[in-house]
Structure formats: structure tokens, C-alpha cells
Amino acid sequence: MTTLYRPDVLRVIDEVFPDQPTVLTIGGVIREMLALVGRKPNHLYSLDAMGQTVAIGLGLALGLEEESRHAKVMVVEGDGSLLMGFSALATVGALKPSKLVVAVVDNGVYLATGGQPTAASSTDFVRVALDCGWAAARDVPPDLAVVRAALDWARATTGPIMLRIRVGTEQPKTDYFLEDPVLLARQFESWLAAQQPR
Ligand SMILES: Cc1ncc(C[n+]2csc(CCOP(=O)(O)OP(=O)(O)O)c2C)c(N)n1
């Protein structure tokens, strides 16, 4: 079976969701996305907030539910962070934000802290999401064309939707990103406010 390289998956996510509000999970995902596409105003860099990414996306999606400019809210989550904030899956299932798409980029480990295994290998994220009441959830086979097709499908389908995309643990060398999370959130808020219909 082929192993996907995480930056390749991140690039496809940005290509399919180029201008939608996008919440990026802690650590390597943020740094790799920055190395690939640079700073983007629609990207919310969820620095240090392990376990919070889905909850942040949930709040955003609920807030934008009736708003016409944004079809979707994309959340890029890691398996370790997802497991830390696992209770958010039940809240999403209960509140059913129709615009929420969560891509779990699952490398099976806490890569940022040395590669210790997470419980991902023994946890069926898709089944948990479906049992919690999500509209749809899929395990995506490790093929970039299939990943793109799954993201296209998620973009066009009523959510909440989870895509579990397994990737390898190889990562590029990237620069540290050490900015104030409060300011990052404010910049994202300003972009979002400027997008609202007047
Ligand atoms: C509450 C909390 N505990 C621990 C950490 C340290 N930490 C930062 S990233 C990380 C691993 C995250 O794992 P995962 O979501 O799978 O992403 P990966 O590192 O594999 O890209 C850990 C343990 C943290 N930032 N916050």
C-alpha cells in the first residue's frame, strides 16, 4: 500500500478549499502548510491549542451557518489532537453544523513530540463520527487522486463530514512559527468580518 506524504495532502486540501475559512491544527500541519502556500488570511493557525481544532471549527461553522459567502468551514486535524478533544465529535453530531468538514490527517503518532503512537490504530474515527450523528464520514484510501475526489465530494455535500486520510510520518524541515495566537485569531477575525455581506 502506498503511503501519502502529508504535505501533498495539505496541498490538495488548499487547492480544493482555497478561500474557505480553514482551521489548521497545531504543529507540523501549520508549518508545512505555511511552507507550501505561505500566509493566507482564510487560514486560522491554531497554535498550541491541541485538542481544540474541531471545537473551533464547530463554532465557526455554526456562526456561518446562515451566511452565503462561505460554503464550508474546513478543519485540518491530527489524530493526536482529535483524540485529545474527542468529546467535540459528540457535540458536532448533536448540533449538526452543515458546513463543517473535518479532514483528519492521521499519521498514527504524536509527531511533534517525538513520534509516540496515539490510539488511532485501535480507534475507528469514522464509526465514532457516524454513531455520534455526523451526516457522513469516510476512510479515504491512500491515493492523492482519491483524496482530491473525496474533498470535492465533501465540498459539495451537506455536513458535518469527516474524512480520515492516513499519511506517513515523514516530514519536511520547516521553520518554526512563533507568533502570538491572540493576534493570529484577530487577523483571521478581521478577514472574516470583511467577507460578510454589508
Ligand atoms: C494540551 C497539550 N498537550 C500536549 C501538547 C504538546 N504537543 C504539541 S503537538 C503534540 C502532538 C500532536 O499530535 P497530532 O495531533 O497527531 O499531530 P502531529 O504531531 O502528529 O502532527 C503534542 C503532544 C500541547 N501542545 N498541548
- Dist. CA 103–CA 168, nearest whole Å: 15
Nearest CA to ligand 1 atom 4: 50
Per the domain annotation, does 45 fall within a domain?
yes
Which pLDDT band holds residue 198 (cuts at 50, 70, 90)?
low
Is the CB of residue 49 below 6 angstroms from any atom belonging to ligand 1?
no
- Dist. CA 72–CA 90, nearest whole Å: 20
Which pLDDT band holds residue 165 (cuts at 50, 70, 90)?
very high
> Which helix (H) or strand (E) covers residue 7, if one does?
helix 6-16
CATH of the domain at 66: 3.40.50.970
Per the domain annotation, does 196 fall within a domain?
no
Domain count across the chain? 1
Q: What is the pLDDT of residues 14-73, one digit of tens each?
A: 999 999 999 999 989 999 999 999 999 999 999 989 999 999 999 999 999 999 889 999
Per the domain annotation, does 1 fall within a domain?
no
- Dist. CA 14–CA 109, nearest whole Å: 23
The residue to mutate among 24, 102, 113, 118, having the most atoms of ligand 1 within 8 angstroms of its beta carbon, is: 113
Nearest CA to ligand 1 atom 14: 80
Per the domain annotation, does 66 fall within a domain?
yes
Per the domain annotation, does 161 fall within a domain?
yes
Q: What is the pLDDT of residues 100-124, one digit of tens each?
A: 999 999 999 999 999 999 999 999 9
Per the domain annotation, does 194 fall within a domain?
no
* pLDDT in the model for residue 181: 94
Segments forming the whole domain that contains residue 37:
6-189
Q: What is the pLDDT of residues 70-89, one digit of tens each?
A: 999 999 999 999 999 999 99
* 51 contacts 94 by C-beta, under 8 angstroms: no
Is the CB of residue 53 below 6 angstroms from any atom belonging to ligand 1?
no
Q: What is the pLDDT of residues 122-138, one digit of tens each?
A: 999 999 999 999 999 99
Per the domain annotation, does 195 fall within a domain?
no
Which pLDDT band holds residue 197 (cuts at 50, 70, 90)?
low
Is the CB of residue 52 below 6 angstroms from any atom belonging to ligand 1?
no
Q: Residue 9, SS3?
A: helix
CB within 8 Å of 17: residues ≥ 6 apart: 72, 74, 101, 151, 155
Nearest CA to ligand 1 atom 16: 80
User: Averaged over 169-173, what is the pLDDT?
Assistant: 96
Which pLDDT band holds residue 196 (cuts at 50, 70, 90)?
confident
Is the CB of residue 28 below 6 angstroms from any atom belonging to ligand 1?
yes
Q: Residue 178, SS3?
A: coil
Is the CB of residue 106 below 6 angstroms from any atom belonging to ligand 1?
no
Per the domain annotation, does 197 fall within a domain?
no
- Dist. CA 2–CA 19, nearest whole Å: 30
Which pLDDT band holds residue 195 (cuts at 50, 70, 90)?
confident
